[in-house]
Amino acid sequence: MTQYKTSVPLLGFAAYSGTGKTTLLEQLLPKLTEAGLTIGLLKHAHHDFDVDKPGKDSYRLRKAGATQMLISSRNRHALMTETPQEEASFEYLLTRFDQTELDVILVEGCKNIAFPKIELHRDELEKPWLHPNDSNIIAVASDSDVDTDLPQININDVDAIAQFVFSYVSNYVSDSVSESHSKIASKSASNAACCDTLSPAFLSVEQGQEKILSTIKPIELIQSISVADSYGSILAEDIVSPINVPQYTNSAMDGYAIRGDDIGQAAYNVVAEVMAGHSFEQELKKGEAVKIMTGAPTPMGADTVIMREQATQNDGQRNQISFTTSDIRAGQNVRQAGEDLAKDQTVFEAGTKIQSAEMGMIASLGFGECRVKRKIRVAIFSTGDEVQAPGTPLKPNSIYDSNRFTLMGLLEKLGCEVVDLGIIEDDKSLMIEAIENAANTCDMVLTSGGVSVGDADYIKLALDKLGHIDFWRINMRPGRPLAYGQINTTPFFGLPGNPVAVMVSFLNFVEPAIRKMQGEANWKPLKVQALAEESLRSRQGRTEFSRGVYSHNEFGQLTVKTTGKQGSGILRSMSEANCLIEITPEVDTVKAGESVTIIPLQGRI
């Protein structure tokens, strides 16, 4: 077989026209990109094909004589090269790809050129088989069986074809250039370990998040609640100020109010004392001051307040004061009406989460109630024969249910209403009934355990009956298995069983979904950089979330260390942690002293 010089694997799809090569590739590419492959595609077309249309600028410039026409925009660029004499060679065309950016080059057509190919065959076309006469064919995808030693795939089983391509790419060993620089070397190393898991889908953390969020819709139901009960709720409508805050111009200090055009007198006559909640109704004249308390309205004409500590009472003149400072500016220590909030100003937009300050602000505008999104109702239950409710004597071979309680806390923190369905027995019909009920009465259903690939748990059987649920493997640790889908439009999350994995999966996938449902669009957790106090091991190709403790070192820098052993069953590590340390897929080891991303957990768990 001719070896074309590519640093990435090359794989063709050979078939007679009419077999549906393009349609197949169109279905195949999303599966391959989803599995993390970056794909180059070379397609052979008929000699009269053209890229752009008459009238387009690039077309006009080519026709006007540009032999190479490079057109570029924000989203793509294309090089069109005129080759009137002779078609470019296959080998030359391969060099046109930027192979450092690719994991594989797929070729559609070029069936007479010698490079590895999958033969596509459909009986109905009544065309001859290619593989008996082409030693470059490495597999056959067909709708019928054929007598060959080559691997055979059903041409209609796109998953199986994707699986084959993925294994081919993963097992490809390049003999060109040292590959330490290329992303292919590391990718295929990491993919090799997961090529058996293309189906069910193998997703990155971001891909999982995107897929989930694309299906989540903000909840529409609105209720009025008293401000006193509003903590954690999400505003359903803008809060518009009906008043000026402060309502009237007032003193910011306990002290003496004078006129701003009367600064610098040796002494002032104190003509009144104004307490908060009262007022002095006359205009203040030059030479006069009023004794004024914080929050009390400044009298007409008085626009400057000097604090009490800078005033002395003149001996024998009880009603006369002088100031001990010469540093007095007109207008000082006075809060103007409407200075904090002007009447009709939008104070909070719909979607704002009400926390302590918001509660106070809303009350400060005079509202006793506010319109909020109805709390998201989340059903939770545990499954598994070994899982036992706390508060009962522990049976042999059992563990107490911790996940349900962790989830209760996490959901409460997000302002959800928890519907606790307890532990559901491993009985298919009971489970179907429980999940169906939950989906009909709640906004989201969460379970933990029983979603690993190969797990025989009943939850899978039940879910199969109920809706469209995907069993994913997320390229992350902990928390690889994740089931997600809809039971009659109600989002369902099947979280992993391990207690730490439950929390990490919740933080990564469930929390953003709940926040979106609550109307908080594009929420992202806070991430900051910290110096690793110890070496952190990870594996390339997956996102590693270690439990970390961050603090400040003697130089004031943010540093982080792990909580120690990182087993996904060690819930204590989550309790000791104040952050997750996130190591992204490209990185395999973080050395002590290097910078690493941390996700603080305060306020989230």
Tell me how far apart the alpha carbons of residues 292 and 207 are, in angstroms, rounded to a whole number.
62
Minimal distance, residue 386 CB to ligand AMP, in Å:
5
Contact 330, 305 (CB under 8 A): no
HSE toward the beta carbon, residue 480, CA cutoff 13 A: 13
Minimal distance, residue 495 CB to ligand AMP, in Å:
9
Q: Which of 387, 421, 446, 466 binds ligand AMP (CB under 6 A)?
A: 387
Q: What is the contact mask toward ligand AMP in residues 459 to 498, using x (rule: CB under 6 A)? A: -------------------------------------xxx
Q: Please say which residue, 199 or 498, places its beta carbon nearer to ligand AMP.
A: 498
Q: Which of 116, 208, 450, 512 binds Mg ion (CB under 5 A)?
A: 450
- Among the residue ranges 252-260, 351-359, 442-450, 554-562, the one whose residues contact ligand AMP (CB under 6 A): 442-450
Closest CA to 249 of 286, 218, 292: 292
Tell me how far apart the alpha carbons of residues 471 and 186 are, in angstroms, rounded to a whole number.
26
Q: Please say which residue, 172 or 458, places its beta carbon nearer to ligand AMP.
A: 458
Tell me how far apart the alpha carbons of residues 349 and 341 are, in angstroms, rounded to a whole number.
14
Which of Mg ion, ligand AMP, none sits in contact with 491, Cβ below 5 to 8 A by type?
A: none
How big is the CA angle at 582 (ends 581 and 585), to the nearest 5 degrees? 150
- Per residue in 109-133, is it b (16+ CB within 10 Å) or e — as a string? bbbebebbbbbbbbeeeeeeebbee
Minimal distance, residue 206 CB to ligand AMP, in Å:
23
Q: What is the contact mask toward Mg ion in residues 368 to 387, using x (rule: CB under 5 A)? A: ----------------x---
Asked if omega into 246 is within 30° of 0 (cis), the reply is: yes
Q: Which of 449, 479, 519, 541 binds ligand AMP (CB under 6 A)?
A: 449
Minimal distance, residue 455 CB to Mg ion, in Å:
6
Which are the contacts of 309, defined by CB distance < 8 A and separation ≥ 6?
none
Rg over CA atoms, the chain: 35
How big is the CA angle at 214 (ends 210 and 216), to the nearest 5 degrees? 120
Which of ligand AMP, Mg ion, none sits in contact with 386, Cβ below 5 to 8 A by type?
A: ligand AMP
Instruction: Verify binding: residue 382, ligand AMP, rule CB under 6 A.
Output: yes
DSSP letter for each residue of 298-330: PPTTEEEEEEGGGEEEETTEEEEEEES-S---T
| Residue whose C-beta lies closest to Mg ion | 384
Tell me how far apart the alpha carbons of residues 605 and 222 are, in angstroms, rounded to a whole number.
26
Instruction: Verify binding: residue 204, ligand AMP, rule CB under 6 A.
Output: no
Give CB contacts under 8 A, 24+ apart, made by 86-95: 87/47, 90/4, 90/115, 91/4, 91/5, 93/42, 94/4, 94/5, 94/6, 94/10, 94/42
Minimal distance, residue 574 CB to ligand AMP, in Å:
12
Which of ligand AMP, Mg ion, none sits in contact with 452, Cβ below 5 to 8 A by type?
A: ligand AMP
Which of Mg ion, ligand AMP, none sits in contact with 498, Cβ below 5 to 8 A by type?
A: ligand AMP
Bridge-partner residues for 226, per DSSP?
A: 369
Which of ligand AMP, Mg ion, none sits in contact with 499, Cβ below 5 to 8 A by type?
A: ligand AMP
Applying CB under 6 A, what is the total number of residues that bind ligand AMP?
18
Q: Which of 386, 412, 433, 534 binds ligand AMP (CB under 6 A)?
A: 386
Instruction: Verify binding: residue 36, ligand AMP, rule CB under 6 A.
Output: no
The beta-strand segments (E) located in 475-578 are 476-477, 481-487, 490-495, 528-532, 536-537, 543-552, 558-562
Which of Mg ion, ligand AMP, none sits in contact with 399, Cβ below 5 to 8 A by type?
A: ligand AMP
Tell me how far apart the alpha carbons of residues 217 and 513 are, in angstroms, rounded to a whole number.
9
Q: Please say which residue, 297 or 449, places its beta carbon nearer to Mg ion.
A: 449
Which of ligand AMP, Mg ion, none sits in contact with 448, Cβ below 5 to 8 A by type?
A: ligand AMP
Minimal distance, residue 472 CB to ligand AMP, in Å:
14
| Residue whose C-beta lies closest to ligand AMP | 497
Q: Please say which residue, 257 or 510, places its beta carbon nearer to ligand AMP.
A: 510
Q: Which of 12, 299, 449, 496 binds Mg ion (CB under 5 A)?
A: 449
Q: Which of 399, 453, 599, 605 binds ligand AMP (CB under 6 A)?
A: 399
**Burial grade of 307 (CB within 10 A; 0-12, 13-18, 19 or more):** middle
Instruction: Verify binding: residue 499, ligand AMP, rule CB under 6 A.
Output: yes
Minimal distance, residue 572 CB to Mg ion, in Å:
21
Instruction: Verify binding: residue 379, ligand AMP, rule CB under 6 A.
Output: no
Q: Which of 103, 119, 262, 401 binds ligand AMP (CB under 6 A)?
A: 401
Contact 424, 431 (CB under 8 A): yes
SS3 percent helix, strand, coil of the chain, rounded to 5, is 25, 30, 45
Minimal distance, residue 572 CB to ligand AMP, in Å:
13
Contact 347, 241 (CB under 8 A): yes
The beta-strand segments (E) located in 315-416 are 317-323, 334-335, 346-348, 369-373, 377-383, 387-388, 399-400
Contact 257, 292 (CB under 8 A): yes
Which of Mg ion, ligand AMP, none sits in contact with 382, Cβ below 5 to 8 A by type?
A: ligand AMP
Q: Which of 188, 207, 333, 448 binds ligand AMP (CB under 6 A)?
A: 448
Which are the contacts of 435, defined by CB distance < 8 A and separation ≥ 6?
445, 462, 463, 466, 487, 492
Q: To which H or E segment does residue 541 belong? A: none
Binding site for ligand AMP (CB under 6 A): 382, 384, 386-387, 399, 401-404, 448-450, 452, 455, 496-499
Chain contacts with Mg ion (rule: CB under 5 A):
384, 449-450, 497
